[in-house]
A and B are shown apart, each in its own frame.
Chain A
Amino acid sequence: MLKDKRVRPSRRSFLAGTGAVAAGITVLPRFAVGAEEPKLNFYNWDTYIGETTLDDFKDATGIAVKMDLFADNDELFAKLKEGNPGYDLIVPTNDYVQRMIAAEMLDALDHSAIPNFKSNVAAQFQEANFDPGRKFSMPYMWGTIGIGYRKSKMDGVPDSWKWLYDSDKYSGKIAILSGKAAIESALKYLGHSLNADDPATIKQAEQLVIRQKPHIKVFAADNGQDLLLSGEVDITMEWNGDVLQVMEEDDDIGYVVPKEGGELWQDCLCIPKGAPHPENAHKFINYILDAEAGAAIADFIQYATPNAAAAKLMSEEYRSNPAIFPPEAVIAKCEPSVYQGAKRARLMDEAWTRIQAA
């Protein structure tokens, strides 16, 4: 268990699913001058930066960071879709990085201005299937989708998707994330890649979920951790950060990434097109990828850092927490969800609509 008892609302707060949280729209002036003014407009998730990171960066470089918050990737995407309102640095999740690259919403990064990337970031994050060559994105934090469970109600550790998808053992006490994730984890259980795009394979996963429906209590819109905490369900599919949050409140809750593997997500630092201060943004990215600054952030937000140099500075407790860092063998089976175009998006959405209508 974490000793850290700070009240730390989850980044993927349950309100995010409803789209009800809206960060204020800030239209910022643009300055098209050669030497950049010492300012940076940072668009980030809530509680997703170190306690003093922004101040420390200002002390080190004189650049004042103004941070706005968004609640989910859809909101971030929607806000930048019709033109950048003045942000220099954003934090999209991997599949949205890819969508933004495809929609030409991101500026290419100048790797020579980010020396800390090569020297500090772990080998497995040097490349990315959603951004070959890491041209547009730098890894910020990563995590998994796995199983949150109430220890006292389980026989051992439920380390397989079977307990959610193919068993009546916890009938009526099961929650599964709604949408794409519900189908993708089922694909993992069936031994496929979660990015499978073959209609017959997706159909197979769809039928698995439909067959399991009588035992599933609810398709949770990102609030599985609350259902778990309130005793509504005993086992749920959730983002690791969300489960970690309720683990701090309740010792009886655990988290495991199933042995079949699950989704590995990665939040990335990207510079949107039309950023008024791209040089400052590069400086800030390099600062975040610094060992000490990175460790300070990871220590505060308790997500897994891809920054190997920073991880070395962290406590054993952080590095050995399975909810933050699953075992190597399991990570090897995890994969990031890749955006594969409108055709697959439609297949998945139709499968999801049919699952609920069945």
Chain B
Amino acid sequence: METWRRNPLVFWIFLVPPTIWLAAFFLVPLGLIWVFSFGEKRGLVDIEITWSLANYVRALEPLYLQIIAKSLWMAGLTTAICLVVAFPVVFAISFAPPRWKPILLLLVILPFWTNLLIRTYALIAVLRTRGYINFTLEWFWDGGNQILTAVGLGDLQLLGASFQPLQLLYNNTAVVFGLVYVHLPFMVLPLYASMERLDKSMIEASLDLGASQARTFFSVVAPLAKPGIVSGLIITFIPAMGSFLTPNLLGGTDSQMIANVIERQFKSANDWPFGAALSFLLMYATFGALAMRSLLARGSPGTEHGA
């Protein structure tokens, strides 16, 4: 594994492009935005770097904390639903016959081949008042009414006087639904990776030794799949937290998430320093959460043994 030590030249040659890429397109722009977050607007296009903390102080106002809390809740709920939905999917794929696995995985990845915007508009066409779900329900309603009429109960209006379409769009439920739809593959793929590595005989052993299905899942499968679960949670939660397109297009009058506020600072409100401060506040919070996780992970084996 340490062969690169014998061939340092090759190693450095291969290391240069990704380093330049990372520096030029990630670190430098990110650094600029970080510097902006300590700036003040001077006129329309100029930002003066005054190293003031005013933008962070403003970002900590209750108004924005409330929106951040709401975004955490929406993203957290999305992540939880993704986990619950992803587990059966992952079980199905990893216990499927080998020749089916690539096809099933492909089906999971397939939505990525379509642009997010197009997928969201497709979702609108499904969910809206005159959308496919309501068309289907109306069809059943009509059918039900015809049957009732046929058996002589038509006048009682058991199903209501007219079909009432469900209001599925433009509310927080629609946003969470949209976020789950978009982020599900982020949860399925890492879970699948760790399930594939999982020794299936462990499950058999657990069941043979008399553990129930639920006990097997929580005491054997879940601990063994933990790395996959954790990375799934992280890479689902972070982009969900930063979504602005989904709440914008599917949300109602109160579905704004923190990323919508940030987007506006860089566009219509034209307040880059404040937008930058809000973004970095989120980033610090994420780093904090990740650091906490690794601290907890370090502490956990001891507590397990202690119990």
Contacts and interface: CB of A to CB of B under 8 A. Distances in A.
A15 B45 CA distance: 26
Contacts of A81: 45
A103 B44 contact: yes
Contacts of B252: 217-218
Interface stretch (A2-10, A121-129, A200-208, A350-358): A350-358
Interface of A: 15, 17-20, 74, 81, 99, 102-103, 105, 172, 179-180, 213, 216-219, 221, 230-232, 342, 345-346, 348-350, 352-354, 356-358
B44 A357 contact: no
A18 B251 CA distance: 14
B222 interface: no
A161 to B, nearest CB: 17
A83 to B, nearest CB: 11
Interface stretch (B21-29, B263-271, B281-289): B263-271
Contacts of A17: 248
Contacts of A20: 117
B43 A103 contact: yes
Contacts of A216: 253
A179 B265 CA distance: 12
A232 B128 CA distance: 7
Nearest to A178: B248
A230 B268 contact: no
Contacts, number: 82
A353 B170 contact: no
A105 B249 CA distance: 33
Which has the most chain A C-beta neighbours within 10 Å: B130, B170, B264? B170
Contacts of A356: 253-256, 260
Interface of B: 41, 43-45, 63-64, 66-67, 70, 117, 128-130, 167, 169-170, 245, 248-249, 251-256, 260-261, 264-265, 267-271
A345 B271 CA distance: 9
Contacts of A217: 170, 252-253
Nearest to A214: B253
What is the predominant secondary structure among interface residues of chain B facing chain A? loop
A350 B270 contact: no
Given A230-B128, A353-B63, A354-B63, A221 B249 contact: yes
Contacts of A102: 43-44
B128 A357 contact: no
Given A342-B271, A345-B271, A349-B269, A213 B253 contact: yes
Contacts of A18: 117, 245, 248-249
Contacts of A105: 45
Nearest to B247: A356
A217 B171 CA distance: 9
Contacts of A232: 128-130, 169-170
Contacts of A19: 267
Nearest to A355: B253
Which has the most chain A C-beta neighbours within 10 Å: B41, B253, B267, B269? B253
Q: Which 6 A-B pairs have the closest CB atoms?
A: A349-B269, A356-B256, A103-B44, A218-B170, A103-B45, A74-B267
A336 to B, nearest CB: 17
Contacts of B44: 99, 102-103, 342
Given A15-B117, A232-B170, 14 more contacts: A20-B117, A102-B43, A103-B43, A179-B268, A221-B249, A342-B41, A342-B44, A342-B270, A345-B270, A346-B271, A349-B264, A356-B254, A357-B254, A357-B256
A73 B167 CA distance: 33
Contacts of A99: 44
Contacts of B63: 350, 353-354, 357
Contacts of A218: 170, 251-253
Contacts of B245: 18
A298 to B, nearest CB: 29
